[in-house]
Amino acid sequence: MNSHHEKHKHSQDKHHENGHHDHTEHHKHMIADFRQRFWISLVLTIPILVLSPLIQQIIGYEIQFSFDKYILFALSAIIFFYGGWPFLTGLADELKKKQPGMMTLIAVAITVAFGYSTATTFGLKGDSFFWELATLIDIMLVGHWIEMRSVVNASGALQSLIDLMPDEAHLIEGDDTRDVKIDELKAGDIVLVRPGEKIPVDGKIIEGKSNINESMVTGESQPVSKSKDDEVIGGTVNGTNSLKITVEQVGKEAYLNKVIQMVRDAQSKKSKTQHLADKIAFWLTIIALTVGFGTLTTWLVLGKSFVFALERMASVMVITCPHALGLAVPLVVAISTSVSAKQGLLIRNRTAFENARKVSVVVFDKTGTLTKGNFGVTRFKSLYDSYSDQQILAMAGALESESEHPLAEGILRKVKKEAIEIPKVSDVETITGKGIEGNVDGTQVKVVSPGYLEENNIDIPEEVDTDSQETIVFVVANDKLAGVIALADEIREESFEAVKMLKKQGIKIYMMTGDNENVAKAVSNKLQLDGYFAELLPDQKLDKLKMIQDRGEFVAMTGDGINDAPALAAADVGIAIGSGTDVAAETADIVLVNSNPKDISALLHFGEKTHRKMIQNFIWATAYNVAAIPLAAGVLIGYGIMISPALGAVLMSLSTIIVAINAQLLKKGIK
């Protein structure tokens, strides 16, 4: 039963993942849908404007024939149901979530305009609002279309995470091995992992010894030596030797699947935060309904006819939904996302970007974000008179040119930089978990870890500092200790400036890393950070991040790896480094294309500017309404002042133009 259930879960999950690919497709489809609705509605709006008595009055021409108002009604009905459909369904969604916002406001306005105008077409005394209905729908459609086009929206994070898990494992049964699907394994089974393969399950090594690349979980680029009784995590990559592993956790219980679940939870929690536009629209809706019904009641109490009171109420409710509001935010969003993209910032989640101005703490992942993520030689030295410092590096380089180890790359880069000739090398063999040996120009040379020296009772001279945060390797020539090479993950130049710039903005800076305490402390001290957390797994990074949030801080997290994904998704603003993994980029709200931590300072600054522009635009968009609503309600009717629909139309166009121009000013503002 259980395995059947697991299988069902697995297929559900697979289905879930494909959903993410569809998500991008769905987004493209929605953009196309808004575009099509906009163009069709726009074409239908032209005859509506031509036939509208108000427009005829403003421009000063007259077209009238016996059934003109029915044509107006028919065209408007098409625009209302076809063009207005996304807003009507949006209203239903928002009310279901108990979060009335932009869609509710638009839907209320167009429904009132359509309902009232239909009534006047079929006998109620009064003027129709058909032209207002049509132009409102056109502007709102174009606004939504612009906005959706400008924000990159895709969530392939979970897909990329799931792809990390191998599908099959080599199950050992007695003397045979056979390949089985992962979901057929159960705890206690024994699997074989060959060199270079991904480890298929969480388990324990029962035979073999190998270097395992766990960077996807810990974020650390240096492989970890593991042997009998050590735990291994599914999805990590086995090094040069075969291992036999007992299965402990599989499927839903496996560590990587827990990480996937953490990301999923964090993402769904975040999508609940509301855009600024929705908050303002919510209040405008309340005002429209309150003032609208208040107007109706007041005029009826004052003894005016129902028809008069209804016309005032309809005017108020239509005017409350400003045309300019439909463009106030989308234009700012479109311009700020395109300006940001030119600056190397890809904005994937708008709310997070709007909130960037509130950030009080920036948390950096260490490896690959603050540091370069690869090992570089920090110092090398001969400990034996027969060899120069350069020769030590040359001998090590000769052996390492045959190795795949990340430390090898670091040594070879240094050899190249120092322009050292590499001598001839033969008979190269690895000393499992301890180093490499071979024949270099007739000398038997080994490059080994401090552990090898201990095992072979070779004393390390006093002058060699092995307590530092560096990784130390020793060069042994003909069984004599000849030299030492120290390597470390180098801090990026930009990191120093990034920290300075953020501190100037009054922001606290912490670092999280899967690396050990010594290394973390050294990097933190050099960069003068406010604090650091070391030796963390992805779920622990998430816990620490929540801990900082619980102190009331507004947190931006910057990372580049799978191990950062849960924390990136849960942070108030998740920022991925462009050179990092797809998973990090997919879970983040903003991607730094140039992978430069200095861009974060610019991002926070520009988020603030964008937010300010939005507020200004809301003020422009709604100021006209604040003035027009009481006049439309008929407050000054005793003085003969009442807003005529013609004046309403002019004011409305004006506020829309001002909003559009104001949004353009954002382009000047970044540098």
Contact present, 592 and 353 (Cβ < 8 Å): no
For tokens 């974000």, name the residue.
Answer: 369
Pair of tokens at residue 284: 């405008």
β-strands 361-365, 555-559 pairing: parallel
Q: What single DSSP character describes residue 325?
A: H
- Look at residue 553 and give its three-state secondary structure: coil
Q: What single DSSP character describes residue 99?
A: -
Contact present, 629 and 322 (Cβ < 8 Å): no
**Exposed/middle/buried for residue 5 (C-beta within 10 Å: 0-12, 13-18, 19+):** exposed
- What is the residue type of 134? A
**Exposed/middle/buried for residue 66 (C-beta within 10 Å: 0-12, 13-18, 19+):** exposed
The CA distance from 178 to 184, in Å, is 12
For tokens 């000393």, name the residue.
Answer: 431
The CB density around residue 323, as the number of other CB atoms within 10 Å, is 23
CA distances from 548 to 24, 404, 495, 542, 570 (A): 33, 39, 22, 10, 12
Q: What single DSSP character describes residue 458?
A: P
The CA distance from 573 to 129, in Å, is 43
Q: Nearest-5° angle of CA 611, CA 616, CA 621? A: 120
3-state secondary structure 399-427: HHCCCCCHHHHHHHHHHHHCCCCCCCEEE
The CA distance from 200 to 195, in Å, is 13
Contact present, 472 and 435 (Cβ < 8 Å): no
| Residues tagged active-site | 365
For tokens 């940001």, name the residue.
Answer: 340
Starting from the edge strand earliest in sequence, which strands make up the sheet with 573-577, in order?
Answer: 345-347, 590-592, 573-577, 555-559, 361-365, 508-512, 531-533
Beta strands (DSSP E) in 544-586 are 555-559, 573-577
β-strands 361-365, 508-512 pairing: parallel
Q: Which distant-in-sequence residues (6+ apart) come within 8 Å of 474 by Cβ? A: 447, 448, 449, 450, 452, 453, 460, 481, 483, 484, 485
Contact present, 30 and 203 (Cβ < 8 Å): no
Starting from the edge strand earliest in sequence, which strands make up the sheet with 425-431, in order?
Answer: 371-382, 480-491, 471-477, 443-448, 435-440, 425-431
DSSP string, 594-630: T--TTHHHHHHHHHHHHHHHHHHHHHHHHHHHHHHHH
CA distances from 408 to 368, 371, 381, 449, 515 (A): 18, 18, 17, 13, 19
The CA distance from 528 to 667, in Å, is 35
Q: What single DSSP character describes residue 219?
A: -
